[in-house]
């Protein structure tokens, strides 16, 4: 691991912006900005309760989960065509590239959209085309992880998996998202076993609001390689020891945790403690349009609140590549670029 020289607090935001990084926890539907949502609504003749972009943007300011879910649902209703999904993903990838994200593993779900009468092909083909174009347009790699919605049934998750099988080559893996409490990971153990047999990579949201037992279950019942969120792990020393020993990554989303009141303030966030414990923690934006910032805003605000420094920045960026599912050669190339930025930063 590279030992980096200290950087002044004034220069640290520039370093955080310049360093190459991977984003591993970002729901594409949660990147839909008000301007694009409004434009897609007009394009598709979808009536909304907001007369203009400004009133729609004001609805993005919420202080409880239900208000977030309401506006999030409105956003999904304007997505009707393959081009809509392409435009949404392209907008995120352009923004991520500006933040020096060189690799993105993007969450999406089909169950929301098939519930609106769309086909899985419309959803996946649009998103995948944007990922392919990002290589030429932005010089970045991007891939897709299908999330099952855990508040729905195991049967519906199986149906979702079967529906996407003809498009298997366009998927990197599967995950588990939506309302956590009351829907433990083991509910989907058989679905994940089927996905694993198909060669898909496995991740799951666990330990965001639910207790550490959900993280144990994601590891042991679902056999995931990576935990999304996982911040409740600090409540269980045995779990912390396992995560550190087995190098099981956590994709942490600080501004999301703040917005949904997992932590009262950013200064009370446990990202620093996770790093001190040797956990492969990463920083991500979750639903950036709604939760107050894209990946670099997560970095800069969290670093300021926790008084983290250049070595932490290097560790988190390095962790993001280690935690990714890219092949070893590309991983090495990205880490070489990361090292170069830290070695030459003034």
* Residue 21 β-bridge partners: 101
pLDDT tens sequence across 132-151: 999 999 999 999 999 999 99
Q: Given a cut of 90, is residue 316 above it in pLDDT?
A: yes
At residue 74, the pLDDT reads 86
At residue 306, the pLDDT reads 99
The whole domain housing 111 covers 14-344
Domain-embedded: residue 25: yes
Separation of alpha carbons 252 and 92, rounded Å:
19
Domain-embedded: residue 312: yes
Residue with tokens 């900005």: 33
pLDDT tens sequence across 242-258: 999 999 999 999 999 99
pLDDT band, very low/low/confident/very high, at 304 (cuts 50, 70, 90): very high
Terminal alpha carbon distance of the chain = 20
Q: Given a cut of 80, is residue 64 above it in pLDDT?
A: no
At residue 60, the pLDDT reads 87
- Contact criterion met (CB below 8 Å) for 321 and 338: yes
Query: Which H or E run contains 169?
Result: none
Query: Which H or E run contains 141?
Result: strand 141-149
Q: Given a cut of 90, is residue 37 above it in pLDDT?
A: yes
pLDDT tens sequence across 68-107: 888 888 899 999 999 999 999 999 999 999 999 999 999 9
Domain-embedded: residue 233: yes
Domain-embedded: residue 2: no
**Weakest-pLDDT range from 61-70, 79-88, 306-315:** 61-70
Mean pLDDT of the chain, nearest integer? 97
Residues 6+ apart with CB under 8 A from 21: 99, 100, 101, 102, 283, 295, 316, 317, 320, 338
Q: The CATH number of the domain where 195 resides is what?
A: 3.20.20.140
At residue 125, the pLDDT reads 99
Residue with tokens 């600080």: 254
At residue 1, the pLDDT reads 81
Separation of alpha carbons 295 and 316, rounded Å:
12
At residue 153, the pLDDT reads 98
At residue 34, the pLDDT reads 94
Domain-embedded: residue 231: yes
At residue 66, the pLDDT reads 75
- Maximum alpha-carbon separation in the chain: 55
Total domain count, the chain: 1
- Among the listed residues 29, 82, 180, 208, the single catalytic one is 208
- Is 54 known to be catalytic? no
Domain-embedded: residue 6: no
pLDDT band, very low/low/confident/very high, at 41 (cuts 50, 70, 90): very high
C-alpha angle 336-284-147 in degrees, rounded to nearest 5 = 110
Domain-embedded: residue 91: yes
At residue 206, the pLDDT reads 98
Q: Given a cut of 90, is residue 172 above it in pLDDT?
A: yes
Domain-embedded: residue 4: no
Q: pTM of the entire structure?
A: 0.97
Residues 6+ apart with CB under 8 A from 233: 207, 212, 215, 227, 239, 240, 243, 250, 274, 279
At residue 61, the pLDDT reads 85
At residue 67, the pLDDT reads 82
**Strands 201-206, 281-283: pairing kind:** unpaired
Mean pLDDT of 188-193: 99
Mean pLDDT of 319-326: 99
pLDDT tens sequence across 197-254: 999 999 999 999 999 999 999 999 999 999 999 999 999 999 999 999 999 999 999 9
At residue 69, the pLDDT reads 80
163-191: burial string, b at 16+ Cβ within 10 Å, e else: bbeebeebbbbbbbbbebeebbbebbbeb
């Amino acid at each position: 691991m590279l030992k980096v020289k200290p950087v002044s607090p004034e220069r640290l935001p520039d370093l955080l912006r310049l360093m190459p990084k991977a984003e591993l926890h970002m729901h594409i539907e949660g990147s839909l900005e008000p301007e694009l949502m409004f434009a897609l609504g007009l394009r598709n003749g979808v009536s909304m309760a907001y007369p203009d972009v400004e009133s729609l943007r004001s609805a993005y300011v919420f202080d409880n989960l239900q208000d977030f879910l309401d506006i999030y649902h409105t956003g999904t209703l304007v997505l009707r065509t393959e081009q809509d999904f392409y435009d949404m993903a392209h907008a995120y990838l352009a923004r991520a590239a500006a933040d020096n994200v060189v690799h993105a593993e993007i969450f999406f779900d089909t169950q929301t959209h098939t519930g609106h009468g769309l086909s899985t092909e419309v959803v996946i083909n649009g998103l995948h085309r944007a990922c392919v174009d990002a290589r030429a347009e932005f010089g970045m790699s991007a891939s897709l992880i299908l999330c099952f919605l855990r508040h729905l049934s195991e049967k519906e998750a199986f149906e979702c998996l079967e529906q996407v099988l003809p498009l298997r080559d366009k998927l990197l893996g599967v995950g588990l998202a939506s309302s956590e409490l009351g829907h433990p990971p083991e509910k989907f153990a058989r679905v994940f076993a089927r996905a694993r047999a198909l060669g898909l990579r496995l991740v799951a949201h666990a330990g965001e609001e639910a207790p550490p037992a959900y993280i144990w279950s994601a590891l042991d019942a679902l056999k995931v390689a990576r935990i999304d969120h996982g911040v409740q792990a600090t409540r269980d020393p045995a779990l912390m020891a396992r995560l550190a020993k087995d190098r099981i990554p956590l994709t942490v989303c600080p501004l999301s945790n703040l917005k949904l009141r997992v932590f009262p303030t950013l200064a009370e966030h446990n990202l620093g403690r996770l790093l001190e414990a040797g956990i492969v923690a990463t920083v991500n934006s979750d639903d950036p349009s709604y939760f107050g910032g894209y990946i670099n805003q997560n970095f800069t605000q969290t670093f300021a609140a926790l008084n983290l420094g250049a070595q932490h920045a290097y560790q988190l960026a390095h962790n993001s590549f280690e935690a990714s599912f890219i092949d070893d050669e590309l991983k090495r190339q990205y880490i070489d670029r990361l090292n170069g930025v830290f070695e030459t930063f003034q």
